[in-house]
Amino acid sequence: MPARIGIDDESLTPASGNPVPPGRFRSVAGMRVLVTGGAGFIGSQVVAALTAAGHEPVVFDALLPSVHPGRPVLPDAEFVCGDVRDAEAVAGALRGVGAVCHQAAMVGLGTDFGDAPGYVSCNDLGTAVLLAEMARAEVRRLVQAGSMVVYGEGRYTCAVHGVVRPGPRAVADLSAGRFEPRCPRCGAGLAPGLVSEDAPADPRNVYATTKLAQEHLAASWARATGGRAVSLRYHNVYGPGMPRDTPYAGVASFFRSALERGEAPRVFEDGGQRRDFVHVRDVARANAAALDSLGEGHTAYNVGSGEPHTVGEMATALAAAFGGPMPVVTGEYRLGDVRHITADSARLREELGWKPEVEFADGVAEFAFAPLRSPAGG
């Protein structure tokens, strides 16, 4: 079926019902959308959100054995098993497609630097092959999963020196329980704030580097082809279907798995690390909203709830919802963890008319008993 593509026509109603500012692209309900990584935690919810918005999602997923050790639970949509690095498979899947929602990636931090070629291959070569095939097939619309990891650290203000950029925390400080980063100029304490999209990129590991490179590739593709692209920099995504406590999983999943074992969630540092926990259904709706309102070129948007919570608060809320045991604060730390990182998602709200709908308390209460995805070997 040929794609029914969007046009800049004010009389059309965008599929998601979001208001579309003038000059932005509107898509037409019923567009066929290729969702790479559509069998994953976030991708499967994107499929549901696109369907709810009146689109026709097609899942394209390699079903990586590390992610899907058993029989995967596939979303209710057409499914193509393929790897984004396989040009022929991508070309075939792009037939009749009006837009791509690119979620496929190798996620997490890996175990050591030996994983670097795997991450670069999957995430960056994969994105390059996908974009080259989109250029060939004249598919001009892309929404892709970015990440807040491109920022490295959160935003901090010194009372004397204004906005400053503290480097990674020293082992000596962490071991002594000094968790808060200090002003690099005067050593004073800092006030954490919200990171906006124009903060300088500072990817501090291979995964973060590949997520930033994906954005640069999308921007190059948009310039070269006249395509329209959005990268959605997700913050800490949680919700049903989240992977269990693999080395790659988020902190909420660790806490939930501990509770299921009857153990107290172990909160690292002093529990005061601030994060933006955003619900997976809100992230999925952000994808649908972005698709319905693509501007020219490439734009990056933070996707966060806008309501910072500490890791300790998440543990306490989850334990309370689960019925205990209550968390313990251990003072342990992981080198490379960021102290605070919280998003300013104003741009997404203002330009795309998106806003989060799942309240923290409700999302956590649901997450306490929601089905999780089993890890490899689990």
Contact with ligand NAD (CB under 6 A): which of 20, 53, 104, 338? 104
Spatial separation of the C-alpha atoms in residues 129 and 177, rounded to whole Å: 46
234 is catalytic: no
Backbone angle region of 52, left / alpha / beta, with phi > 0 → left and psi within -120 to 50 → alpha? alpha
Q: Which is nearer to ligand NAD, 169 or 373 (CB)?
A: 373
What does 152 interact with, of ligand NAD, Zn ion, none (CB < 5 to 8 A by kind)? none
Which among 32-40, 157-165, 294-302, 337-345 is the span making contact with ligand NAD, rule CB under 6 A? 32-40
Binders of ligand NAD among 137-196, rule CB under 6 A?
145, 147
Residue 190 is a binding residue for Zn ion (CB under 5 A): no
Q: Which of 151, 156, 207, 333 is catalytic?
A: 207
Q: How far is the CB of 162 from ligand NAD (least distance, A)?
A: 29
What does 234 interact with, of ligand NAD, Zn ion, none (CB < 5 to 8 A by kind)? ligand NAD
Residue number of the CB atom closest to ligand NAD: 40
What does 14 interact with, of ligand NAD, Zn ion, none (CB < 5 to 8 A by kind)? none
CB 242 within 8 A of CB 41: yes
Contact with ligand NAD (CB under 6 A): which of 100, 106, 229, 264? 106
What does 186 interact with, of ligand NAD, Zn ion, none (CB < 5 to 8 A by kind)? Zn ion
Residue 258 is a binding residue for ligand NAD (CB under 6 A): no
Q: How far is the CB of 367 from ligand NAD (least distance, A)?
A: 13
The closest alpha carbon to 145, from 107, 196, 95, belongs to 107
Spatial separation of the C-alpha atoms in residues 101 and 234, rounded to whole Å: 14
Which positions are catalytic?
Answer: 207
The residues that touch ligand NAD, with contacts defined as CB under 6 A, are: 36-37, 39-43, 61-64, 67-68, 83-85, 103-107, 122, 126, 145, 147, 211, 234, 236-237, 250
The residues that touch Zn ion, with contacts defined as CB under 5 A, are: 158, 160-161, 183, 185-186, 188
